[in-house]
Chains A and B, each alone.
Chain A
Amino acid sequence: MTEIVMECKNLWKIYKDIVAVRDVSLQIREGEIKLIFGPSGSGKSTLLRCLAMLTTPTKGDVFLRGECLTKPGVDLNKARARIGFVFQHIYLFHHLTALGNVELALRHVLKLPKDEARKRAMSALEEVKMEKWANYYPAQLSGGQQQRVGIARALARNPDIILLDEPTSALDPELTGEVIDTLRDLAKKGTTMLIVSHEMPFAQEVADEMIFFDEGTIVETGTPEHFFTNPSTERAKKFMMRLIKRTRRE
């Protein structure tokens, strides 16, 4: 078995009186692609943010290559430098060009010299086929192009894992394709990824495991095959039916 890259054990996130994440445990191994799906508001984004330590979990532990990130005294900046995160609403830095966005962490987190940072940023942009747009500002790019820059920004540091929070759901339907193509390329290269997504044909193609998430917790896990043919829980069955219907309509 390959090494476990990221793991969480009995993870909880509780806001005042809302339980957003309820006792979640999961593992992602080197080169694995896991896909989380489930109704909106079920806590998927919160789970991802807890795993990236962008929000502090209330209870439970997160591990990155065996190192516990949830115990006091951990240098979270260092840990986050090894985790790539792609946001649903992209959040590119408005005042920097595409290249500037990708370069920032290479310069000021990895502390690479200017030329090397630029070279690596360009090659990350090439990976998402955005090198021609290197000197454009976010507001001058389409949503799909922005998200590809967002992906380049996340992967330029060569993180151990990339977490993607619904990378296509804020885009116009005709723009999702280019982002999905980019993710497919990453999958082929063996990038370790945990993706929240409802792009079912894509899931079927690349996911090693799918995780059905509802009301803050994992309801059912299995291969894409399992979910497309015979999910065991009633909730997953109903949700799959709706997704498949929607996909057909598109």
Chain B
Amino acid sequence: MEFLLRYLWDILQGFIVTVEVTLFGAFAGLALGTLLALGDLYGGRVVSILIGAYTEFFRGSPIIVQLFFFYFSIPSLLETTFDAFAVGLVVFALNSAAYQKGYIKGAIAVISEDQMMAALSLGLSKIKAIFYVILPQALRLVIPAWSNEFCSLTKSTAALLVIGVKDLTSVGLRISSWHFRYVETFLVVAIIYLAWVTVVTKIADEVYERVKIPGIEISA
């Protein structure tokens, strides 16, 4: 496996790209997913239909098609080109938002209308009620689902190689094909993915435990 040491720097570069895309995708997806969930629940019929269409597009088509769409189709319509890495960031954020919207909406449903009514009864506006009462509870509940989403998002980022982004998988493919050493290379690549996912999900578990509301849990 010593030959891999020569490529340590390249592997690290690939790993950093993967880290950037997964973190950005998961957090931007959380922020956008929260807005989508709120729009869907409180935004009225038209907004809800538009959000439904958005969600269907990103959940209903392969991630590779989505990458092609944003990397080839849209720029060709606009007669321009986009940076592959930027496309990667955007597509994974948009894609993850579509999934996270569902989780957040579900968490808000668990909290139910009673909490909203109690907040309104005090004279809070709907927006303040969402901000001070609904979201603090929903976002706590959604941490385990976010953690799951992070795992699956991380694995999908391997698709970035189809638009030429030099992520971990793409770097691994290059090294292994130069040396015809597929076994060792992808073993190492897989272990790096596993380590990354493990670290982040452990942190998420820890955060979940720390911010947990006494007595309120999602039953497994």
- B124 contacts A94, CB within 8 Å? no
How many angstroms between the C-alpha atoms of A95 and B119 in the bound complex? 13
Q: Does B213 contact A (CB under 8 A)?
A: yes
- B122 contacts A81, CB within 8 Å? yes
- B122 contacts A137, CB within 8 Å? no
| One of B28-36, B53-61, B133-141 at the interface | B133-141
Q: A81-B123, A95-B137 are in contact. Are A137 and B213 (CB under 8 A)?
A: yes
- A77 contacts B118, CB within 8 Å? no
A-side contacts of B76, CB under 8 Å: none
Residue from B117, B128, B136, B216 in contact with A91 in the complex, judged by beta carbons closer than 8 Å? B117
- B121 contacts A80, CB within 8 Å? yes
Interface residues in B173-191 (C-beta closer than 8 Å to A) = none
- B215 contacts A87, CB within 8 Å? no
- A54 contacts B121, CB within 8 Å? yes
B-side contacts of A94, CB under 8 Å: 111, 115, 137, 213, 215-216
Of A77, A82, A93, A157, which is in contact with the most chain B CB atoms at under 10 Å from its CB?
A: A93
Interface residues in A62-102 (C-beta closer than 8 Å to B) = 77-83, 85, 87, 89, 91-95
- A93 contacts B133, CB within 8 Å? yes
**Would you give the shortest CB distance from B127 to chain A, in whole angstroms?**
10
- A77 contacts B125, CB within 8 Å? yes
**Would you give the shortest CB distance from B42 to chain A, in whole angstroms?**
15
Residue from A80, A85, A89, A105 in contact with B114 in the complex, judged by beta carbons closer than 8 Å? A89
- B137 contacts A157, CB within 8 Å? no
Which residue of B has the minimal Cβ distance to A159?
B123
How many angstroms between the C-alpha atoms of A109 and B125 in the bound complex? 9
- B213 contacts A139, CB within 8 Å? yes
- B123 contacts A91, CB within 8 Å? no
Interface residues in B195-220 (C-beta closer than 8 Å to A) = 213-216
How many angstroms between the C-alpha atoms of A94 and B213 in the bound complex? 7
How many angstroms between the C-alpha atoms of A184 and B125 in the bound complex? 32
Q: Does A138 contact B (CB under 8 A)?
A: yes
B-side contacts of A171, CB under 8 Å: none
Of A79, A83, A91, which is in contact with the most chain B CB atoms at under 10 Å from its CB?
A: A91
- A137 contacts B140, CB within 8 Å? no
Interface residues in B70-108 (C-beta closer than 8 Å to A) = none
A-side contacts of B136, CB under 8 Å: 95
- A87 contacts B118, CB within 8 Å? yes
Q: Does B16 contact A (CB under 8 A)?
A: no
A-side contacts of B122, CB under 8 Å: 80-81, 104-105, 109, 153, 157
B-side contacts of A233, CB under 8 Å: none
Residue from A79, A85, A104 in contact with B132 in the complex, judged by beta carbons closer than 8 Å? A104
Of B118, B128, B140, which is in contact with the most chain A CB atoms at under 10 Å from its CB?
A: B118
CB pairs A–B below 8 angstroms (8 shown): A77-B123, A80-B121, A94-B115, A94-B213, A105-B123, A137-B215, A138-B215, A139-B215
Apart from the given pairs A77-B120, A139-B213, 13 other A-B contacts in the complex at a CB distance below 8 Å? A54-B117, A78-B123, A79-B123, A80-B121, A83-B121, A85-B121, A87-B121, A94-B111, A94-B213, A94-B215, A104-B124, A109-B122, A139-B215
4 closest A-B pairs by CB: A139-B215, A81-B123, A91-B118, A105-B122
